[in-house]
Chain A
Amino acid sequence: MSIRFHKIVSVAMVFILVSTALLGCAGKEKELTINYRAEPPVLDVSKAEAQAAFTLLNELNEGLYRIDKEGNPVPGLAKDMPKVSEDKLTYTIELREGLKWADGSALTANDFIYSFLRTLDPATKAPYAFLLGWIKGGNDILNAKTPEEAEAAKANFGAKAVGDTTLEITLEKPVAFFTQLLGFSTFFPQKQDMVEKAGESYGGDPDKVIGAGPFKLEKWNHGQSLEFVKNENYWDAENIKLENFKLNIVKDGGTAVNLYKTKATDVTTVSGDRVTEWKGKPDLVSNVEQTTTYIHLNQKNFPPFANKKIRQALSMSIDLQKHVDVVLNNGTKPSNGFVPATQQDGNNQEFRTVAGDTQLKYDPAQAKQLLAEGLKELNLTSLPKFQLQGDDIETGKKSLEFIVGQWKDNLGIEVEAVPLPHKNRVQNELDKTIQASLTLWGADYNDPMTFLDLLTTDSPFNASDYSNKEFDELMKTSDFMPDTVTRSQNFVKAEKILMDDAAIIPLYFRTSTYLVNPRLEGFFLQSLGYEFELRWASLK
């Protein structure tokens, strides 16, 4: 019994080894391979909410505009930049002529309207539908309680197709960054008959995914890989140089780099200490995202945080440069304000260039003094112990350890670090049950509003329970102000108030580092929404 078994196994092992040798030689040179840390949950314009899905939708589909290397919108399916009315409420956009879906069928302005309405319909359960709420009547559809109510609201929707090639979109209020928003995947067109035919499985397999972008999905091995080939029906197909690419799902950071080293992949993320050996090499590319990591100090749940001096002391006692060196070690820059470095100010300039440094500087001596003064004002002899929660992933834990250590060393206060599973951490913030929380926020659109708005008194995301009338007033008046210059100045003022109050403690603007094979040209990383762009890429 055991001998026969032994034989079978030996034969199997020999077979495996032989096939190893044979398959090992067959390497494909022309194909581009990319590591990605997660599988896109679904490639459906309406239901997409993960960066993986946004990024890939942008390769296999296209909006009216496409975001270029500088982060600016350039005409995609639209022929030209939009004609905007005097009151900045109505956008009229001409489509290119002869647009086709990847299957060769015609793409019309109605496909956009269908897509918008499908996303807004509550029955679709689209998580990013709120972006379409800026279009007139959008929120009425989104908030409809019954299907009948939703159908009625659809009739008054502010986006319309005029003929086959013209779109007219009317907004609720002027939105300074709307053209850019049109390049985001939530605003892509959808092919109605495909959506309806695939039903609930839409967006889950190559035959249930369609777009009008530079590439099309050829194969999807769930949990493992996605393969794309050039879309010959793309309007600019002749200028697409990449024939195909493959995305491998690789979740382990160490293995990802191992695969890069063995040339099994051309693009991968690299983080922490693993970055060190690549410093100074052409492979290493870094990308500052529009994401800020910061600390909430809840003023209601832990009353001492209501004291400005105590918040300032906590803010000024963290050495931010050391923090990024110790915890991230990938060249990330510490924050110097709340709005991240690559974000624009709504007036075509980088916000940080306009605002400069607004955050309190690291100064342990002064921090100590501020703490003493603050405690005196509160009639306390020492700051009671409080809890700082954060994500229980690697960097989250390290950040917690570092910050708690800094507060202990520089202020002599005891803080308990509480790492929690991600969902748990987020839920505590939404319920506002935290004392202090290490959190992060990624921009939804390229405008300071997406950050500053978080800390208005009635914002559901104001986990600090911070309230400042002057700040609220500034935010309210600038919300949809057509005058972009004053608006930008107001945002700068608002951020200064926030930082001077130490309402929150920003730590750094998230920077991701990648290894990119130098043979890949024209490839670039994006700071918002999409992770990378292959439309202009080619292999040397």
Chain B
Amino acid sequence: MLKFIFHRLIYMLITLWLIITLTFVMMKNLPGDPFGESSQKLTPENRALLMAQYGLDKPLWEQYLKYFGNLLHGDFGRSFSFPAQTVTQIIQQGFPVSLQLGVVSLCIAVIVGLALGMIAALRHNKWQDYSAMFTAIVGISIPSFVLAPLLSYYVGVEWGILPAGLWEGPQYMILPALALSLGTIAILARLMRTSMLDVLNQDFVKTAKAKGLSSSAIIWRHTVRNAILPVITILGPIFVNIITGTFVVEKVFSVPGLGTKFVESIYSNDYTMIGGLTIFYSIVLVVVLFLTDIIYGLVDPRIRLRKGG
């Protein structure tokens, strides 16, 4: 086990290094400079001066080494777009918001998704199965940039139940979290349904039935418990998926998370920010995948951890 973890750590570091290098090469190929809106008004001389001040006139390999050296010290640098803030500060401000949004959204998705999946499996090939799966799939058939404005307008303005936007308290989280959870609901419902059907067909459930256990006891104690295992192992990646995919919802509901920062930094060539956020997200992703693997290995003895993997 220890050897397995050690190997994985080595691979994680290689992965991170590759991602950093890849991102660096790509962002340096973006057209334009990293300066703000008024940079289009700089004369070529003034622009050259500014580039020199930021060290952007140096050869790429030199910039790369310097950048990499800073990263090794844990220094992501200062944002070009928000020069008074370090990338680390911006991540510290934005990530908790994305995280909150992600957690609430995941909760909604887990409750609704699992419920739909269970109904579908218990009433396999009956109308309940069809309607549950249909509901789940409708969720991934409408893009969030269509659904979110509709929610903001109808729930926020027409019915006036919840705020149409902004981020000032718990009630402000519901609509964005809901809009964000739809895709996940479909994934979880499908997975839960398949997994439940699997379990329901297995001998121990039949034995339990034969023993004369009440059907609710069978469902809860035997089926759901076992069926939920594969779902738990996928929650990690799904969660990462949610918190990296918050852009649309954050923009529509004015949520001050990292998703918008991510996309905006690419548009404004904010090199330090692009680099910092990519590395940050990659670390989150890699760590979550790593943990998922370990948990998977722990909960399911059938999965043997191979040498080096």
Contact = CB atoms under 8 A, between A and B. Distances in A.
- To the question of whether A and B form a pair in one complex, the answer is yes
A201 interface: yes
Contacts of A200: 78, 83-84
Which of B35, B37, B267 counts the most chain A CB atoms within 10 A? B37
A262 B160 contact: yes
Given A125-B50, A258-B152, A24 B171 contact: yes
A262 B157 contact: yes
Contacts of B94: 222-223
A1 B225 contact: yes
Interface stretch (B7-15, B41-49, B121-129, B198-206): B41-49
A40 to B, nearest CB: 9
Given A19-B171, A200-B84, A421 B267 contact: yes
B156 interface: yes
A429 B31 CA distance: 12
B107 A19 contact: no
Contacts of B90: 222-223
B220 A3 contact: yes
Contacts of B220: 3
Given A23-B169, A204-B84, A6 B111 contact: yes
Interface string A394-434: 00000000000000000000000000011110111110000
Interface in B165-195: 165-171, 173-174
A142 interface: yes
B32 A424 contact: yes
Contacts of B171: 16-17, 19-20, 23-24
B84 A259 contact: no
B49 A122 contact: yes
A143 interface: yes
A1 B224 CA distance: 9
Interface stretch (A246-254, A321-329, A366-374): A246-254
B157 A258 contact: yes
Interface stretch (B252-260, B278-286, B289-297): B252-260
Contacts of B269: 423
B248 to A, nearest CB: 10
A23 B35 CA distance: 41
B147 interface: no
Contact of A16 (B35, B84, B165, B170): B170
A255 B163 contact: no
A143 B38 contact: no
Contacts of A383: none
A203 B44 CA distance: 27
Given A1-B225, A249-B256, A259 B164 contact: yes
Contacts of A44: 83-84
B21 interface: no
Instruction: Indicate the size class of the contact surface on chain B.
Output: 35 or more
Majority secondary structure, B binding face: helix
Contacts of A15: 170
Interface in B21-55: 30-33, 35-46, 49-50, 53-54
A255 B164 contact: yes
B99 interface: no
B240 interface: no
A132 B95 CA distance: 39
A127 B39 contact: yes
A271 to B, nearest CB: 15
Contacts of B41: 130, 444, 461
B70 interface: no
Contacts of B97: 223
A122 B47 CA distance: 11
Contacts of A427: 31-33
Contact of B83 (A47, A128, A252): A47
B224 A254 contact: no
Given A41-B82, A44-B84, A255-B149, A426 B260 contact: no
Contacts of B261: 223
A428 B162 CA distance: 45
Contacts of B174: 16, 20
A221 interface: yes
A188 interface: no
A49 B38 contact: yes
Given A255-B164, A264-B164, A128 B267 contact: no
A279 interface: no
Interface string B202-236: 00000000000000000010001100100000000
A427 B167 CA distance: 36
A41 B260 contact: no
B114 interface: yes
B173 A127 contact: no
A361 interface: no
A460 B44 contact: yes
B173 A16 contact: yes
Given A201-B85, A223-B261, A259-B166, 13 more contacts: A5-B110, A9-B110, A20-B174, A49-B37, A125-B50, A125-B54, A125-B83, A130-B42, A252-B252, A254-B152, A255-B254, A258-B165, A423-B269
Q: 4 tightest A-B contacts by CB? A: A204-B84, A423-B32, A20-B171, A223-B256
10 contacts: A19-B169, A125-B83, A127-B50, A221-B256, A255-B164, A259-B164, A423-B30, A426-B39, A427-B33, A430-B40
Interface of B: 30-33, 35-46, 49-50, 53-54, 78, 81-85, 89-90, 93-94, 97, 107, 110-111, 114, 149, 152-153, 156-157, 160, 162-171, 173-174, 220, 224-225, 228, 251-254, 256-257, 260-261, 267-269
